[in-house]
Amino acid sequence: MLASFNKDVQLRVAEALKGQGTLSYLLKHKRIFSVDYEILKGIERYADRVFYEPIILFYLREERVEGEKAVRRYLMPLAIQLHREPHTVNHIFISPKLSSSELLHHEAGRVWLFARMHAICADANYHETVAHLGLTHLALEPIIIAFRRQLTASHPLMQLVGPHMHETLTINSLGRETLLKADSSYFDQVLGVGRNGALQLIARVYRNHYRMENETFPQRMARNGFTQVENPGEDNAEDPLPGYLYRDYGFMLWNAIHSYVESYLSAHYDSDEAVRQDKMLQDLLDDMRDPHRADIPGVPHVDSLQKLVDMASYIVFTATAEHSAVNFGQTDFYSFIPNRPLLLRRPMPRDLSRVTVKYIMEALPDEVQSQMTILMASTLSLMDHEGTLFDWAIASSRTRPEDRHLMQFKHQLEHISNHTLKRNTELGIYWPYLDPKQRMAYSTNI
């Protein structure tokens, strides 16, 4: 929980929010957002690296553009708390009224910049270990093994899901020999948590929080307070967070994948009873639950066609859209080390006057660590030579021209790609990570 604001912090919050309303006003109007990294508490750090479990407050800023009727709304950071322990000097860092170019020239700006770097470092470590490796690559692995063990190649569920399992086990095996190698692990070189901390964190999330039956895209978004928004954007006053492209494009892709899966499986199962009577499918589910076999937490009780559709949609979405969203932007976001440092070597000092440019530079990864970070990010961002999800749909439709489910899916993917390109152009940004024609692989294969 964020520490109570003392009088000085209250004044600085009021200054940061000047013209936007009070904190109470923004809370009432649902314009305050928070991210809490409590999950990182107690995770092992590697060597001399410094790591916090921050809480971050954001607010939705509103600005009227001169000469226009529309109000521009965008998310901005407001406050960062790095420490959680009650005995710690618990600074709460507030966004100063300084431009980006002014930050390094003022103590308040340097302190805010350094607090942001530590907050981003926590997020980056969670991203690489949990969001990317843990909840895509490693979560898919026991599912794939159970599928291979229990379903024949001709089983309709394997026919549907199998292509999206292509080379996942191969890349996971390579990851064990590089990222997670017991000696000279890549994670030891580039992450604040190192290899052991990464494994602790992945295990904590997978065993204590992951439940396969609760991991569909709409369920995960709902847990964070978001639902699908019709006509999202700044012009829509009902959109609680304009520009949240992962939400907007993610729902479009989830709906397309779910529709494709439902259409396909409905052609093979004419009733809920047919699902219950499919012994091979039920053996698969038993394997996935068995603590001596796949041992997957929260395997759904698939006793209806709809539940089978939801489960298969989760697998396909995770292997394609979700993995692509958390993987293929790594070069863009990690290549400039200060933008998203994966490790920091200096703490936030009690005496904030010590936060000089020199102090910040000394906190950043050294030259070798920076080179290894860039190498890792660029390697993981490479697209497989076999192409995107849309490329796969085109190639598959050539060999299965009679498959109307696949043909419809291909048309939906083309529509989504055109929509994302148009909206990205209107927003003036480059965000191709959920574009099925650009940066979305058809399986978790890198």
Model-level pTM greater than 0.85? yes
Q: How confident is the model at residue 278 (pLDDT cuts 50, 70, 90)?
A: very high
- Who has greater pLDDT, 50 or 234? 50
User: What are the structural domain ranges in the chain?
Assistant: 116-427
Q: Which of 297, 286, 279, 145 is nearest to 213 (CA)?
A: 297
Q: Is the pLDDT of residue 141 over 60?
A: yes
Cβ-in-10-Å burial (0-12, 13-18, 19+) of 175 comes to middle
Cβ burial of 358 (10 Å; 0-12, 13-18, 19+) is exposed
CA dist 6 and 117 (Å) reads 24
The fraction of the chain above a pLDDT of 90, given in percent, is 88
Mean pLDDT of 1-10: 68
Q: Write out pLDDT tens, residues 91-127.
A: 899 999 999 999 999 999 999 999 999 999 999 999 9
CA distance 378 to 328: 9
Average pLDDT, the chain: 94
Structural domain 116-427, CATH architecture = Up-down Bundle (1.20)
Average pLDDT (315-320) is 98
